[in-house]
Amino acid sequence: MNFLAFAFVLIFTSAAISQESTEVMVGMYPFAPFVEQRDALDTEAVSGMTIDLLEILNKSQNKYYFNAVLIPPNRRYQSYDRGDYDVIFYENKAWGWQDYNIDVSKVYQAGGEVYVALKHSGRGQEYFNRFDDKRMMGILGFHYGFANFNADEKFLHKKFNMSLFNDNDKILTKLLKQRGDILVITNAYLQRYLKNHPGVKERLLISEKLDQEYNHTVLVRPESVISIAEINQMLDDLAASGKMKQLFDKYGISQH
């Protein structure tokens, strides 16, 4: 994925911003199925749960207009420091934000990541007990539990012979071509992929254990135009109205 050195502002539709609305810049990075960029050269070719959620929020109230800034996952902290955005959805403070003075919303969605390998005779769940003797694959800039959440590319390559890519489709293709041993992938994305490619499932060994189980929150700059209390109220309103469940259902995600 070819990101330029600066963030691209994605204007959903400038006509939709009323004169009374205050613009809130929302950072987002490719993290399927939450943010998916199908064309690396077209920064507006973006879809996913985050885009849908922002549209729902914009239609549900008119005090704020949520606009998105597309950023590379491994540079989201630098973009925040530069002031490119004030709010980021589908984040967790444990993912590199521990030293930041940043407000954290209530949890609004749970998720997790699993390990996936190719099926072979005699290979079972014990294959996922050790990783330093495997060729690991994952997404650039992501924090993984098996690596103690160290996202440093050099560390991951040296310790786990890990190759990092920019999208999940690519690492799944690499695995199917036996160019890696184990990939780490969001369970939500994997389930949707297998629904669209049912013939692939019989070739895969999917871990019963999770690499990590996480709780999605919204991170908000303390001096932002919108407060964390307002974000929490909006999340409550979406849950109460059933709109959040409709969003989950659209992507085949179940919440308990």
**Domains in the chain, start-ordered, CATH in brackets?**
8-109+214-250 (3.40.190.10), 111-212 (3.40.190.10)
The model's pTM is: 0.75
Look at residue 61 in the predicted model and tell me its pLDDT: 93
CB of 30 closer than 8 Å to CB of 189: no
The predicted model gives 169-187 an average pLDDT of 95
pLDDT band, residue 39 (cuts 50/70/90) = low
Look at residue 36 in the predicted model and tell me its pLDDT: 85
Answer whether residue 188 shows pLDDT above 90. no
CA dihedral 84, 89, 93, 94 (to 10 degrees): -110
* pLDDT tens digits, one per residue of 208-226: 999 999 899 999 999 999 9
Stronger pLDDT, 196 or 63, i.e. the higher one: 63
pLDDT band, residue 12 (cuts 50/70/90) = very low
Answer whether residue 177 shows pLDDT above 50. yes
Query: In degrees, to the nearest 5, what angle opens at C-alpha 109 toward C-alphas 182 and 30?
Result: 50
Instruction: State the alpha helices, DSSP H only, in 2-136.
Output: 49-60, 76-82
pLDDT band, residue 19 (cuts 50/70/90) = low
DSSP type of residue 83: T
Q: How many helices (H) and strands (E) in the chain?
A: 7, 12
The predicted model gives 41-67 an average pLDDT of 87
Percent of the chain with pLDDT over 90: 66
Answer whether residue 230 shows pLDDT above 80. yes
pLDDT band, residue 14 (cuts 50/70/90) = very low
* pLDDT tens digits, one per residue of 118-171: 999 999 999 999 999 999 999 988 889 999 999 999 999 999 999 999 888 889
